[in-house]
Amino acid sequence: MPAPSSQPFCASSIIGTGSYMPEKILTNDDLSKIVDTSDEWITSRTGIKERRIAAAEQATSDLAAEAARKAMESAGVSPEEIQLIIVATVTPDMFFPSTACFVQKKIGASNAVCFDVSAACSGFLYALQVARHFINTGNRTTALVIGAEKLSSLINWKDRNTCVLFGDGAGAVVIRRADEETEAPGRVLSTVMGTDGTLADVLKVPGGGSACPITPENVDSHPNTIHMEGRETFKHAVTRMLEASQQALEMAGLSASDVALVIPHQANARIISAIAERLNLPLERVFMNLDKYGNTSAATIPVALDEANKAGRLKKGDVVLLVAFGGGFTWASSVVRW
């Protein structure tokens, strides 16, 4: 049995938030002109009214870099102080190098180690936990964690069941080591993660990788776009997000009644309402912006966190619950004391 480590625990705190949303707005009425749908159909089933679409010349790293700059400005840190960059995304600029490498170049963070995390909509919380582990080892003190997506590049605009759901955007946080004895704001208290790969086929982009390269023979079937079984995804999302929330709160020594604000993955208003109901929390204590942005996958939580922060929804000492669910299936939840 190995001897226990004598290294002290290093707590991690979120010291800055930032987000960037592309300028172009695609409304439900706009979508009704290109696919058989309507504003009433989309709103009643999802709660989404519009979403942002990146410009053709914008890559995921461009969105991520803009969010990163704003997070660093919020935190009051320079690019040279950043020692780690993790980008959570399922829409990388290319297979390699990682999108994080492109972000490093664009923001001038020359001292950072950089890589991507792919966990779909749970990616940001996965990346946050990975960054916490780096900080806890003492090898890094300041990290930039980004969730960024250009999901418009994966959408089949003829499939009304998926094209109405997704949008583009990026959010970022700066996290820094904090002494365990110090009451630092933005303290990440706990994180829970889970995966069930037996359900990988329920929500996926089947083509474009080594298992199914895009060829002239299959390109018309749009294999490099999002394929989803909506009912199955909904059922598992509610169950897993609830379990992860309860586990993260228990790990932090808290209960749902202690939570001042829930920031859930912004996929569907019905899922969010179901989570709030099962946690016995009023919707007034749940942050939602999916009506403006739709589902931006790994970007949803950091974008919402930044908007809540800027809007004054987070007070010193507030307990904030972050929870997500995505393709894989993956799920995660974090508890933060602001």
Phi, psi of 168 (to 5 degrees): -110, 150
Yes or no: say if 180 and 208 are a contact pair by the CB < 8 Å rule: no
Comparing CA positions, the residue from 129, 87, 90, 149 lying closest to residue 333 is 129
Comparing CA positions, the residue from 277, 184, 297, 174 lying closest to residue 233 is 297
Comparing CA positions, the residue from 193, 79, 188, 189 lying closest to residue 143 is 79
Q: What is the DSSP letter of 255?
A: -
Q: At what angle do helices 269-278 and 230-251 cross, to 10 degrees?
A: 40
Residues annotated as catalytic are 121, 265, 295
Comparing CA positions, the residue from 121, 143, 164 lying closest to residue 72 is 143
Yes or no: say if 320 and 314 are a contact pair by the CB < 8 Å rule: yes
Query: What are the residues whose beta carbons fall under 8 Å from the beta carbon of 34, sequence distance 6 or more?
Result: 157
How many whole angstroms separate alpha carbon 160 and alpha carbon 242?
A: 28
